[in-house]
Amino acid sequence: EVQLVESGGGFVQPGGSLRLSCAVSGFIFSDYSMSWVRQAPGKGLEWIAYIITSSGTIYYADSVKGRFIISRDNSGDSLYLQMNGLRGDDTAVYYCARMENLHDPLDYWGPGTLVTVSP
């Protein structure tokens, strides 16, 4: 059974940092690209980052470029999102999602982890 589980969310002050993790199981992690998608309270879905299988290709949404870093550990079946310079508008549930390749659908999602940025 394919499973993705995010962790690392919580409360952080503006300007602070947080590192999210996504542990996967039930499939060969190194065969799949991954994305992070977030959803602010009561709002729609916003894609924020993509990483290819080998980490050789990475893309970010403009809203997080220069502040967030996506990475992966294929030997540990884990995906990460390092979030720096956090702002109030970064408050959201953060989901990791699996995809085969760029332009493919996000076919499995984790349950999400909530990040709250507040003084």
User: Which residue number, 16 or 107, has a Cβ lying nearer to other proteins?
Assistant: 107
Give the C-alpha separation, 59 to 69, whole Å: 10
Integer Cα distance of 8 and 117 in angstroms = 13
Binding pattern for the stretch 48-77 against other proteins, x by CB under 8 A and - elsewhere: --x--------x-x----------------
Total number of residues shown for the chain? 119
Which one among 7, 11, 26, 102 touches other proteins, defined by CB under 8 A? 102
Place of tokens 């967030």: 68
Q: Which is nearer to other proteins, 37 or 86 (CB)?
A: 37
For residue 23, the SS3 value is strand
Using rule CB under 8 A, residue 27 touches other proteins: no
Which of 90, 92, 112, 115 forms a contact with other proteins (CB under 8 A)? Answer: 112
The correct pick among 1, 41, 44, 75 for binding other proteins (CB under 8 A) is: 44
Quote the radius of gyration of the chain (alpha carbons, Å).
13
Asked if residue 38 binds other proteins (CB under 8 A), the reply is: no
Alpha helices in 5-107 (DSSP H): none
DSSP β-ladder status, 45-51 and 108-109: unpaired
* Interface ranges with other proteins (CB under 8 A): 35, 37, 44-47, 50, 59, 61, 95, 102-112
